[in-house]
Structure 1
Amino acid sequence: MYPDTLQLIEEKMQEGVFPGAVVRFIESENDENYVLGNAQVEPTIVSMQEDFLFDVASLTKVVCTTTIMLKLKEAGKVSWDQSLHSLLPDFQNETITLRHLLTHTSDIQTYIPNRDQLNAQELRTAYLNLQPGEELGEVVKYTDAGTILLGFLIEKLYQKDVIDVFKQEVLQPLGMSDSLFLPQAPYDKIVPTEKLSDGTILKGMTHDPKARVLAEHAGNAGLFTNMKDLSKFAKMYLKLGRVSDMIYLHDKTVQELLCDQTPTGNGARSIGWDLKYSPLDRSPLLFHTGYTGTFLMLDVIKKSAFIFLSNRVHTEDHRASYVKHRDEILVCYLKERMQRYQK
């Protein structure tokens, strides 16, 4: 389906950009799936398997947190321009809105002294006291703080731990039966991530340090999932919110995500999602990445998707060089896709 893109991915893997990957291209009713390389290289080599679970890091933001917020808006429980404080009075600022948090335009000042020494309650208190800078609503600055705070809001509205809300309202209705949070041993089917300074290799433990501390209260990361389940999520979007005969999200909700939702209208961010544009006709594409080496690109209009799962942080994190390689893969895919549609 996309031979040039696949070849480039294989070349990047051979160069050591990531040890292995699971890749899926979706075009309407047709899927092509590829399983490449190794899931693990230390302490022993383990070949990649299609059903292995990845720590997808910030894909948790769009699969879970954003989805819950969309459903809350559909139910009339929230509106995007409400202040977070009006819904979560524990948050000590009255100007930051849900739109600011969901489009990364809150300019929230995220420095927390001794952050990595704080326990879950102390970290929660620190986030509830964060304040915006002078560019509130004006610039896009990607941050985990938004979905961490929205996780606290979801807990207040549902009166449950946020990961229990995610399981009940997202994973179960979408049939994402392999997906989970806070895995229990054995971790045989879980792809490991980074080697810590003490020599520990994270496997079955959340890679993101904030989500690792917040555990069941983390709205920014912590989802372990595989290609089968992520494809179910993607296809729900491509079917404008439908799952079989069930309306999971209204078609209008999905279509509104294809528009810039930042306060200025020119920030190239939607609710929860990054907006990319097709080089073919400038049609909008929904995009999101995960720090560990994952990304998801959806073309709702043309019913296509590109899902990429790797554990590029295993065993070492070389983020700057990886981002350059990742962007080359995306450019190749979009170019090959344009050629495909022009035929």
Structure 2
Amino acid sequence: MYEKTVAAITDLVNDGTVPGVSYAFIDGSQVRRGLYGAEALLPSYEPLKANQLYDVASLTKVVGTVNVIMQLITAGKLALTDRVCDYLPQWQDNRVTVRHLITHTSGITGYIPHRNKLTAVELHTALLGLHVGENFERKMVYSDINFIFLGWIAETILGKPIQTLITEMVLQPLGMNESTFQPTDSTRCVPTEWSATRGLIRGAVHDPKAFVLKAHCGSAGLFSTLNDLVTFEQAMLSDSDLPMTQQQKATLLADQTPLHHQGRSFGWALLQVKGPTPHLCIWHSGYTGTCLVLDLQTQQGMVFLSNRVHPTAPNEAFLARRNAIIDVYLAEKASYVSAEVKAD
């Protein structure tokens, strides 16, 4: 099964768009895993090994920070209508709420000179000194800043760095024991970019803001394996109340933006599944070349892990190819469900 999707993935490697891919397809209790290609091209060729650690970049948002925020809401310690300035007094605009942040509708904008050369304290101050532009509430504009702020709000409430909270509230309860924000063995990590300033980035976070903010960054920084991300998807697809409650999982399938027509749920993007019973699924990507797709209705999911920024970024040709692979997967997945129904 999933022959067309696997063929599209191998083509992505064979034509040099990415060095290699680790992938998995989840159908209820069944999991199909695979890997293809290389994990490193520079300084020398290294074939991809099973269950390596990937810098998953912005998957940190939906695997980690979203679930910490939703657990705080469940505990009555936070509400979607709460104002950011009530938790982060340095933030001056009293219009922006938790809902705006988690749906990327805050409109926060502005330029920070020499951003990547600032210290963590300087970057913290600079981010809180940004302003709200004309897109406030009217347009979904994806931005790491929203989730950096969400992480700081969680820190204010619970008194620990957001990455510690993700570890304690999400990774450990789910048994994602290989996932970490601080890899101790770089050889277990799939490398990302060959940088003029940092050399080969391997075992250290690629994202420059996360590199500066370290444990206080809720937008990126997580390293995870194929097996751990399968564990995460299975938990999301199950009737468990981890990493969020069943009721909250159901709300992910609705547009949660203030105007309810901008294609965004709580952290996750919404995607239409065609077929006999059209419906919505959720997905998210990471800049380094990672992607999760979850169909909560049919209990199916895909994990896609690549290092598309190796050896050089940004490799924009990858984006259309990734989207095409998702389309192929959704079509095959629908056929699989249809065939199962007929067999019953």
Pick the TM interval, shorter chain: over 0.9
Equivalent position to 1:287, from 279, 283, 286: 283
2:328 maps to 1:329: no
2:177 maps to 1:172: no
Q: How far apart, in 1, do the equivalents of 2:244 and 2:260 lie?
A: 24
Q: How far apart, in 1, do the equivalents of 2:110 and 2:60 lie?
A: 20
- Name the counterpart of 2:29: 29
Written as runs of structure 1 = structure 2, the 5 A alignment for 1:75-90 is: 75-90=75-90
Written as runs of structure 1 = structure 2, the 5 A alignment for 1:248-267 is: 248-267=243-262
- 5+ unaligned residues in a row in structure 1: which ranges? none
Percent identical among aligned pairs is 36
Q: How far apart, in 2, do the equivalents of 1:335 and 1:36 lie?
A: 22
Given that 2:236 and 2:243 are in contact with CA atoms closer than 8 Å, whether structure 1 keeps it comes out as no
**Moved segments of 4+, more than 4 Å:** none
TM-score after normalising by structure 2: 0.95
Q: How far apart, in 1, do the equivalents of 2:73 and 2:88 lie?
A: 16
Given that 2:23 and 2:33 are in contact with CA atoms closer than 8 Å, whether structure 1 keeps it comes out as yes
Relative to structure 1, is the Cα distance of residues 141 and 333 closer, same or farther in structure 2, using a 3 angstrom cutoff? same
Find the residue that maps to 1:319 and give its secondary structure: coil
- Name the counterpart of 1:309: 305
Q: How far apart, in 2, do the equivalents of 1:177 and 1:205 lie?
A: 18
Given that 1:182 and 1:216 are in contact with CA atoms closer than 8 Å, whether structure 2 keeps it comes out as no
- Name the counterpart of 2:188: 189
Given that 1:151 and 1:219 are in contact with CA atoms closer than 8 Å, whether structure 2 keeps it comes out as yes
Cα distance, 1:127 vs structure 2: 1.0
- Name the counterpart of 1:296: 292
2:67 maps to 1:71: no
Q: How far apart, in 1, do the equivalents of 2:129 and 2:69 lie?
A: 22
- Name the counterpart of 1:270: 265
Q: How far apart, in 2, do the equivalents of 1:164 and 1:341 lie?
A: 39
Q: How far apart, in 1, do the equivalents of 2:333 and 2:227 lie?
A: 23
Deviations 1:227-285 (A, max 9, x none): 1111111111101444xxxx553210110111110001011100111011101233111
Given that 2:28 and 2:299 are in contact with CA atoms closer than 8 Å, whether structure 1 keeps it comes out as yes
- Name the counterpart of 1:41: 41
Written as runs of structure 1 = structure 2, the 5 A alignment for 1:92-131 is: 92-131=92-131
Cα distance, 1:147 vs structure 2: 0.5
Q: How far apart, in 2, do the equivalents of 1:151 and 1:320 lie?
A: 29
Cα distance, 1:36 vs structure 2: 0.8
Q: Which amino acid aligns with 1:53?
A: L
Q: Which amino acid aligns with 1:124?
A: H
Given that 2:84 and 2:96 are in contact with CA atoms closer than 8 Å, whether structure 1 keeps it comes out as yes
The count of corresponding residues between Structure 1 and Structure 2 is: 338
Q: Which amino acid aligns with 1:222?
A: G
- Name the counterpart of 1:134: 134
- Name the counterpart of 2:143: 143
Q: How far apart, in 2, do the equivalents of 1:248 and 1:43 lie?
A: 39
TM-score after normalising by structure 1: 0.95
Given that 2:272 and 2:278 are in contact with CA atoms closer than 8 Å, whether structure 1 keeps it comes out as yes
Equivalent position to 1:339, from 319, 322, 335: 335
Q: How far apart, in 1, do the equivalents of 2:314 and 2:245 lie?
A: 40
Find the residue that maps to 1:172 and give its secondary structure: helix
Relative to structure 1, is the Cα distance of residues 6 and 180 closer, same or farther in structure 2, using a 3 angstrom cutoff? same
Question: In terms of mean alpha carbon deviation, does 55-64 or 314-323 score higher?
Answer: 314-323
- 5+ unaligned residues in a row in structure 2: which ranges? 340-344
